[in-house]
Chains A and B, each alone.
Chain A
């Protein structure tokens, strides 16, 4: 029973860390988490029995089982951070690729007065007008 409370608390904590805050606050939380992880790791290396002791406190048979539970929580929290980050990266890559594509694309229309669209219809008057003025302006210069 106790393990359920511990696991749910861990999941909620991870979710809060993922969701809450940004920038410096989140970074600080992450660093605290890392420090806690290192401390627990060192203790469990020096005194392997503590892990089993803790496990029994929360009604889990062995220390290895506790480790497995912790690993699962960490794995899913990693997956969710990864997912959020991947989506952001994809958005950035998309924006970048779109800029590249648009920069390299040809102009949508021929310059006024040149090209096919000037050959037919409504724009015709405008185009011819433009051409004449250009010719007039360019001549003396």
Chain B
């Protein structure tokens, strides 16, 4: 009880004892606003008697689920009631000064998105393919997951890596070129981490060996890599078109698991980059918190002096893991070219490396949380693509596209608020 009620506020040292923490109003307010939005806009404007169609199965599925037609308005009313209930629950947790279990925001988010979909498609004869919507969402969130894992490895060890954007781009470039030259997408996939690792090395050299501010090195690297890939694209790749035709990675369906309705095609009918992502997230989640490597990693980021005292070579650990982080981003960059089956194009990562940084912070520097944050972006992107393909637009496309960014701002400001980064990140260690 006291664990929850007593403030552990470092910056106000005199704030100890049995003083109650201030009530955290942010979550209930955010939930309340969204509930009001659902009740006041979605319900009345859905149109009485309109129907929303969802489909769950794709052709050739072993178990076929029939399409579902939901009466829009009653469904929205039901959802609004449940949302209000969750809102009240969150208020109760806030008043008790307790943290709501993760299930509450998760359920709220899923229901709100469902309500949004029902509302957007209400009265439209078209059917929303739920399965392809979700599998596309997962696919699009892949580079964000790789990027956030990079940020996470680097920041846990104490190095701020702003250069994720550049490392993704470098990986995409090298994957395309090597994949084209070897006429084999797996060659590109193997080469991509090298490009990321190279720029991880540059970051490490300048930040650790020469004590240049890490954010500065990262920013410079982004400009450098963007300039370099643009330059090589408009000279070498344009002169030799054959260098930029990577064959695409094939999609593998995992036997049995791939036949599960809805989830099967979403999770287990992807290409190898997505499977590597699963493995990476699971392995990192375990290693960072349960292994000797992870303990040392975190020690160097939280309290390098203490780590040094017990014999950990702080700068060597930082050096190696910054390169490792770069390699992960490079691999993620392969997504844009060989995994998506596209040629390299100028600035094709278009700021996703920065979004990955946001994903990492929203995920509070843990792999398992980061994946949810990445899915929010992947889902919003793919929803927009799907709706455009279905020629549905009730709001201008631009406002639809703003959604993931707005969600992030609300999440960062409302739900997550102040998060705690590794204590000594960005601080060079001089012994």
Mutual binders A and B: no
